[in-house]
A and B are shown apart, each in its own frame.
Chain A
Amino acid sequence: MVPIPYYLVLSAAMFMIGAVGVLTRRNAIIVFMSIELMLNSVNLTLVAFSVATGTITGQVLVFFVMTVAAAEAAVGLAIIIALYRRKQTVNLDEINILKW
């Protein structure tokens, strides 16, 4: 059996990659996908801990995260569509109507 810390390091690495994506990409869709990446890496952590502690709760939590992620994806993408209709762009630097 692979030691749990390995999974944790892996999941941290994937989380960081997702975070970099969120922070640096300007395409809203890709930012969105990066967020999914981060969510997934967290799921991996949860499962790993679930196994490590021998309790099922972590995996149940993953189930809920997935549900929320699905909901979030649906709503988020709808927002992107609405935004695109209005501004003809998904460039996040141009979507700054909340400034000041």
Chain B
Amino acid sequence: MTLGHIMFYVLGAGGVASALLVVTRRNPIISALYLIVNFFCLAGLYLTLNAQFIAVIQIIVYAGAIMVLFLFVIMLLNLGDDRKLSDAITVRKVVGAGLTLGLFMEVLYILLTAGPADSERAEAAGIALGTVEAIGAQLFTTFLFPFEVTSLILTAAIVGAVVMAKKKLD
């Protein structure tokens, strides 16, 4: 039981718990706050995998930017307590949950029946892998073209969001 293990269990438990809370809370604001918790847990998990760069941008992009956007929208639409939606248990929900559970069982079955992972090699290679330097080198060489394309996606998303959120669509 190393520190890594303890970190994993704590963060993993936090992540699952916060995820459960996200989907079960009635008030979207509370959901959003638990989502932030979830993001932080994930960032921590990334660190246990030595993926420092990802951990950092997880915090910046998700917890920082995207969540703000969510909260902003919730506030804008004033979807507070008064706009709570009654979530009675319906057939669809039961079927949906059941299906998902089935899927989970299938995945577990796969993971359990698969052979043990080669953790020795992973441990050796993992340390220097997730640095900003390593990722940057890949991004600007091998993945240069996709990287540039993402800028187009973002531009398109900005334009789209602005157009759609405008008060009056012509």
Which positions in A face B, CB cutoff 8 Å?
Answer: 1-10, 12-14, 16-21, 23-27, 29-30, 32-34, 36-37, 40, 43-44, 47-48, 50-54, 56-57, 59-60, 62-64, 66-75, 77-82, 84-85, 90-91
Contacts and interface: CB of A to CB of B under 8 A. Distances in A.
Contacts of A47: 46, 49, 51, 54, 130
Contact of A54 (B25, B49, B57, B125): B125
B54 A59 contact: yes
Contacts of A84: 77
A29 B23 CA distance: 11
Interface residues of B, number: 89
A16 B119 contact: no
Contact of A67 (B45, B51, B154): B154
Contact of A57 (B51, B138, B156): B138
Given A3-B119, A5-B114, A14 B19 contact: yes
A73 B58 CA distance: 15
Contact of A5 (B48, B57, B111): B111
Contacts of B38: 14, 37, 40
Contacts of B58: 43, 66
